[in-house]
Structure 1
Amino acid sequence: MVLIVESGGAVIQHGGSETGGLIPVASYARTSEDSRQRDGHGVRYQLRINERTARDHGCVVVMAYSDNARSASKAGVVRPGFDRLMADLVRGRTDGGQPIKGVVCVADDRLYRRAEDLARFFAALTSSPGRIYVDPQGVRDPYSQEGLMQAVRSLDAAATETRVRSRRLSHWHWARAVEGVPHSGPRPFGWLEDRITLHPEESKLVEQAISDRLSGKAVRAIARDWCELGVTGTRGGRPNGQTVTQIITAPRVCGYRANRGELLFVPETGEPVVGQWQPISTPELWHAVCATFSPGSLFLHRGSGAPRLTDSRRPVPRHLGTGFLRCGARSPDGTACGGALCAQKGRSQRSPYVYSCRNCRRCSISGPLVDTALERLIFDQAHGCTRVPDTTRQRWQVGEMGLDEKRKIVGSFVTHCLVRPGVKADHTWDFSRVEPIWR
């Protein structure tokens, strides 16, 4: 049986013996957000509409693809459903072997909002002849000039809508901000769900953290104290130095309102806009605690929508063992911790820096000891591996080789090293604590 569909002036024929004479199509649905109900109802409704649209135009849905709460207008957003649809279109069939002769969707902007995605979709859809694209307005011929021009017009309309909506949303946030309305989004640490009333326990922690920081305490130490108390962030994460810094340097702690990384001021008086919520600290203490950090660390330079002033590149390792060491401390069930050992300042001239596990905090070892152990492993114990040339060894030992080159050599021999915990009160240097995992 052959079904003939007129589309854009062209006649496209499809054989349909396996689908009762209907054209087998793939159904796609996407929503940009699902923040309220979080049940995927948006994509579910779209897929139902797609099924009705397919039936109305002589098609049958053989596979459904969806991306819930995935933006199509932002670069770098991964859409697994869209990626799977593109792969199946190029292949011409589903994983189960069902042929795909077209795509049905409620609107073009569900599939693409960027030129790159439009080009990718049309290339995949037209990779085989005789396919169609279906939406509630009818059947389109993706091979015709009119079909392509209609897609380009849809793309231009979607891009314009994105710009208008972004500008409208930006104005809406600014208007809320100048009136002192609390920030939208997740509940800020230190306040209740109404974002106005102070949280009885969290607000005290923030107040104490500001006091401790002004007294010279490191934010990492404050974060460790919070972890030991079982404190978690408003989204369930464990506190660390960066999150503590963000919390205590946010203008909201003293009642000030900011927008897109900048403090807002009342035009008539030049005074900062004061929010409608209860403050945790005073403006004087907030200014004082901000002064204890470099500018690039402050909330105003790292908050939502604000440009980062610090270098975005990852810091360069300063020690040989950084990134190669794993904690070998045993848990009660006999498994190794496996946490990364990070370098930090030591307390003696013999060990000016040490490697410590931040996960279990039960394993710590002298930095110079480990770096010397790594050197011994590479030059003396690399059994079954290609030996390091004598010239390379000489350059290493006389100081002609930089740290980056040394680390590359270590990485070519070992994937990582397990470090066993030491014996308490035993200050002897035991190189056997470092166990290499050879490549």
Structure 2
Amino acid sequence: MDLIPVASYARTSQDSRPRDERGVRNQHRINERTARDHGCVVVATYTDNARSATKDDRQRPGFDRLLADLHRGHAFTAGPLRGVVAVADDRLYRRPDDFIRFMAALTSEPDRVYVGRDGLRDPYTKQGLLQGVESLQGAVAEGRMRSLRVQDWHWSRAMDGLPHSGPRPFGWQEDRQTLHPVESELVRKAIEDRIAGSSMGQVAREWAALGMTGTRGGRPNPQTVTQIITAPRVCGFRAHRGELLIDPDTGRPLVGAWEAIVPPAQWAAVCATFSAGSLYVHRGPLSPRLTGRKAGPKYVASGFLRCGAETEGGGRCDQLMGGGKTAIRKSPYNYVCTAGRGCGRCAISGPLVEEAIERLLFPADGKAKVRLPESMRARWRSGDMGFEEKRRVIGSVFAHLVITPGKKGCVTWDHSRVVPVWKWADRFTPAEPAA
């Protein structure tokens, strides 16, 4: 009897301390045994290590690649795929959206199987579908309970006045309680300068000139500097989930167990220099706060474009390019490399970029690097596909796109300026610009 060729998928939410990927390796080993026990053979593996499947803003490139290959009908080098094996359903999906995407990809061709620890499952039958729905309900319920436990844990820490558990905040040392001698003085001076009338761009440039970076290695920019100086922690107050915590015994703001950089009055004064509803200031009730809106990208390609201008040292700028409105009718908005963060020497029309992306995803000759469903092409071109779905499609196909500088005096659209860097680049021939 011929063995059924299947894909093995493995995912962990967190890696172990040594970052050795042992968890996903063990899952693939179990998947190979499960496949053998049920007349299948693993011909391709797909992995998402330390990737959550609960939150909708978390990317899972391995899962996206698996779905693309299922729609295509085969893995690039492994041949046809007739099913998927996983140690548990919740490794594949924990959200209804992902369940729908997975089932659509798995059943896009006939005679596919899903292989679990309990045996083969027919995804085309009502019983097989109900089994998947039941596992989804369990995963959703478990995810909610886990989320509540994590929220309660963070709230309890906050009420005890303990620092945040994430990366150390700028201005404090690794213990999150003792002031950093250099960074804390920069924060103090930035607060004083802002109250005196300085712009945040000026402060960010001063920090960049001193060679300062954030605690995660990023370069200073007006938004991050503003977030640093308006955080309640600079005056010793403890906030939680965007709200200033109040001590139930005194009725006053809860004071954390760390050294303050400035007194509360000075913190309130610097917060007052920003207009109400500022995107940068989303703090407690003593400061202007954004309400009723969720900050997010305004343009389809935001976050995917990188500047391809050459630097003085012969390298590439490689800074993210942001979108902004213009007064030009043909190009109502541009993507620009901003001076200060980047070289400031590269800009491109927004509609041109999005037209180039469409050409890369759905070329006229049909010879795309990545095969996407015909229904997706129709929905994209008809305008039925929404903003967020378009961004998910772009993010599932491209690692990013490099924008090369334009030619002086050229007034026509040059789609070749948009150079894609494909995900799974090792599977493709060298990257080519949009035609």
Q: TM-score, normalised by structure 2?
A: 0.67
Question: Does structure 1 residue 265 correspond to structure 2 residue 208?
Answer: no
Q: Do the aligned partners of 1:102 and 1:131 also contact (CA within 8 Å) in 2?
A: yes
Alignment partner of 1:31 is 2:12 = yes
| CA distance in 1: counterparts of 2:93 and 2:29, whole angstroms | 20
Kept in 2, the 8 Å contact 1:337–1:360? The answer is: no
Match of 1:182 among 133, 151, 163: 163
Corresponding residue of 1:228: 209
Structure 2 counterpart of 1:144: 125
Moved more, 113-122 or 212-221: 113-122
Q: Is the 8 A contact 1:33 1:68 kept in 2?
A: yes
| CA displacement at 1:101 relative to structure 2 | 2.4
Assess, with a 3 A threshold, how the Cα gap between structure 1 residues 177 and 35 changes in structure 2: closer, same or farther: farther
1:257/1:212 CA distance change after superposition, 3 Å:
same
Task: Please say if 1:248 is aligned against 2:221.
Answer: no
1:300 aligns to 2:283 (yes or no)? yes
> In the TM superposition, what are the counterparts of 1:340-359 in structure 2 within 5 Å?
358-359=339-340
SS in 1 for 2:75: coil
Following TM superposition, by how much is the alpha carbon of 1:102 offset from its aligned partner in structure 2, in angstroms? 1.8
TM-score (norm 1): 0.67
The structure number with the bigger radius of gyration is 1
* Alpha-carbon distance in 1 for matches of 2:294, 2:114: 46
The reply on whether 1:69 has 2:50 as its aligned counterpart is: yes
Distance in 1, Cα, partners of 2:166 & 2:316: 39
Q: Which of 215-224 and 126-135 deviates more?
A: 126-135
Trace 1:112-131 onto structure 2 (pairs within 5 A): 112-131=93-112
Give me the whole-angstrom Cα distance separating, in 2, the residues matched to 1:57 and 1:154: 21
Partner of 2:329: none
Give the SS at the match of 1:155: helix
Give the stretch that moved more between structures: 264-273 or 85-94.
Answer: 85-94
Task: Give RMSD over aligned pairs.
Answer: 3.6
Conserved? CA contact 1:106–1:135, under 8 Å: yes
Letter in 1 for 2:281: L
Q: Deviations over 1:75-117 (max 9, x none)?
A: 3543222222223223332212523222110110111122222
Contact 2:201-2:222 at 8 Å conserved across structures: yes
What is the aligned partner in structure 1 of residue 134 from structure 2? Answer: 153
Q: C-alpha displacement at 1:132, in angstroms?
A: 2.1
In the alignment, which residue of structure 2 is the partner of 1:110? 91
Q: 1:83 maps to what in 2? A: 64
Mapped contact 1:180–1:275 kept (Cα < 8 A): yes
1:274 aligned to 2:255? Answer: yes
Closer, same or farther: CA 75–311 of 1 in aligned 2, 3 Å: closer
Deviation at 1:336, TM superposition (A): 9.9
Instruction: Give distance in 2, aligned partners of 1:289 and 1:67.
Output: 43
Report if aligned partners of 1:73, 1:162 keep a CA contact under 8 Å in 2: yes
| Cα gap change, 1:416 to 1:35, in 2 (>3 Å) | same
| Alignment partner, residue 132 of structure 1 | 113
SS in 1 for 2:120: strand
Contact 1:340–1:358 under 8 Å retained in 2: no
Check 1:218–1:310 CA distance in 2 against 1; reply closer, same or farther (3 A cut).
farther
Q: 1:359 and 1:267, CA in 2 relative to 1: closer, same or farther beyond 3 A?
A: closer
Alpha-carbon distance, 1:37 to partner: 4.0
Letter in 2 for 1:158: A
Residue matched to 2:150: 169
Q: Could you say which residue in structure 2 is the equivalent of 1:46?
A: 27
1:58 paired residue number = 39
Aligned to 2:80: 99
Q: In 2, distance between residues paired with 1:24 and 1:356?
A: 47
Kept in 1, the 8 Å contact 2:219–2:341? The answer is: no
Secondary structure at 1:265 match in 2: coil
Query: Is the 1:26–1:104 Cα contact (8 Å) retained in structure 2?
Result: yes
Listed one character per residue, the Cα deviations across residues 151-189 of structure 1 (whole Å, up to 9, x for unaligned) are 110011111111111111111111110000100111110
Task: Name the residue aligned to 2:190.
Answer: 209
1:300 partner SS = coil
Are the equivalent residues in 2 in contact too, given 1:331–1:337 (CA < 8 A)? no
Q: Aligned letter for 2:56?
A: A
Checking the alignment, whether the CA contact within 8 Å between 1:301 and 1:307 is kept in structure 2 is no
Task: Look up the equivalent residue of 2:241 and give its one-letter code.
Answer: R
Question: What's the offset of the Cα at 1:417?
Answer: 6.2
**1:282-361 to 2 correspondences below 5 Å:** 282-295=263-276, 296=278, 297-300=280-283, 312=295, 331=312, 358-359=339-340
Residues 342-374 of structure 1: CA deviation (Å, up to 9, x unaligned): 99xxxxxxxxxxx9971499989xxxxxxxxxx
